């Protein structure tokens, strides 16, 4: 399977997603996991991974990276991994924009998904239609708010309603809504824009001369 790279934390998240998918696929070919008396849970996980399409795998990796996993706890990461697998097929991939502004990915580039506004399109651009995913997330949020147990909604047996509600709202913002703009630009942006020269004093004598004038 090909690997998509992205700068910084997105690259790490994408690599983690692809590594996990590849690991599940390899399990089926491991003789320790087949035959009578072998654990069925592991096989079911692998069979589920094999049933997913390449596009669904790709979307799952994008969803994991968009969720900014570096800010989540280990437990939240486990839920994120499970839910992204469950809902990746609810994200459409289109060659042309399906909304005034939405997430897009450049297949010819070296990064993950970015927010884009406008009607521009290109041969390597793919636009993520998250409208169905947003509907699913909002429906789950309403159901949990009304008191429905998360386990009955397929969210997991070991997640409390408040935790599931917080994470659902968090993912709705990160997956389906326009990202918040940064109050301050990234350091890399400042370094890129800076074109002024600087002077460096090396050695005690040079430092003394610089300070004394």
In which residue are the tokens 């979307």 written? 59
Q: Would you state the pLDDT for residue 190?
A: 39
Q: How confident is the model at residue 111 (pLDDT cuts 50, 70, 90)?
A: confident
Q: Would you state the pLDDT for residue 6?
A: 41
d(CA 73, CA 77): 6
The per-residue pLDDT of the chain, averaged, comes to: 76
Q: How confident is the model at residue 208 (pLDDT cuts 50, 70, 90)?
A: confident
Q: How confident is the model at residue 137 (pLDDT cuts 50, 70, 90)?
A: very high
Q: What is the CA radius of gyration of the chain?
A: 23
Burial class from Cβ neighbours inside 10 Å (0-12, 13-18, 19+) for residue 23 reads exposed
d(CA 116, CA 154): 32
Mean pLDDT of 46-65: 73
Mean pLDDT of 143-154: 94
d(CA 71, CA 69): 5
Q: Is the pLDDT of residue 187 over 70?
A: no
HEC per residue, 156-213 = CCCCCHHHHHHHHHHHHHHHHCCCCCCCCCCHHHHHHHCCCCCCCCCCHHHHHHHHHC
Mean pLDDT of 6-18: 52
Q: What percent of the chain has pLDDT over 70?
A: 64
The number of C-alpha atoms within 13 Å of 117 and in the hemisphere containing its C-beta is 3
Q: Per-residue pLDDT tens for 158-184? A: 899 999 999 999 999 999 999 876 544
Burial 59-72 (b: 16+ CB within 10 A, else e): bbbbbbbbbebeee
Q: Is the pLDDT of residue 156 over 80?
A: yes
Q: Is the pLDDT of residue 124 over 70?
A: yes
Q: Would you state the pLDDT for residue 200?
A: 76
Q: Provide the terminal-to-terminal Cα distance of the chain, rounded to the nearest Å.
A: 62
């Amino acid at each position: 399977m090909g690997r998509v790279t992205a700068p910084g934390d997105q690259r790490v998240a994408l690599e983690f997603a692809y590594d996990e998918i590849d690991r599940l696929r390899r399990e089926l070919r491991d003789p320790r996991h087949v035959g009578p008396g072998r654990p069925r849970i592991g096989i079911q996980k692998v069979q589920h991974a094999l049933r997913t399409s390449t596009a669904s795998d790709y979307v799952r990796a994008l969803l994991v990276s968009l969720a900014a996993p570096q800010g989540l706890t280990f437990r939240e990461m486990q839920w994120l991994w499970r839910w992204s697998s469950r809902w990746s097929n609810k994200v459409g991939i289109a060659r042309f924009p399906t909304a005034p502004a939405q997430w897009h990915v450049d297949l010819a580039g070296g990064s993950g998904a970015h927010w884009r506004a406008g009607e521009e399109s290109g041969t390597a651009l793919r636009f993520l239609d998250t409208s169905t995913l947003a509907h699913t997330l909002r429906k789950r949020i309403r159901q949990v708010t009304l008191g429905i147990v998360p386990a009955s909604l397929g969210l997991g047996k070991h997640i409390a309603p408040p935790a599931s509600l917080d994470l659902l709202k968090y993912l709705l913002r990160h997956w389906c809504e326009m990202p918040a703009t940064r109050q301050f630009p990234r350091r890399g942006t400042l370094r890129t824009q800076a074109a002024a020269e600087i002077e460096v004093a090396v050695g005690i004598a040079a430092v003394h001369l610089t300070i004394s004038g």
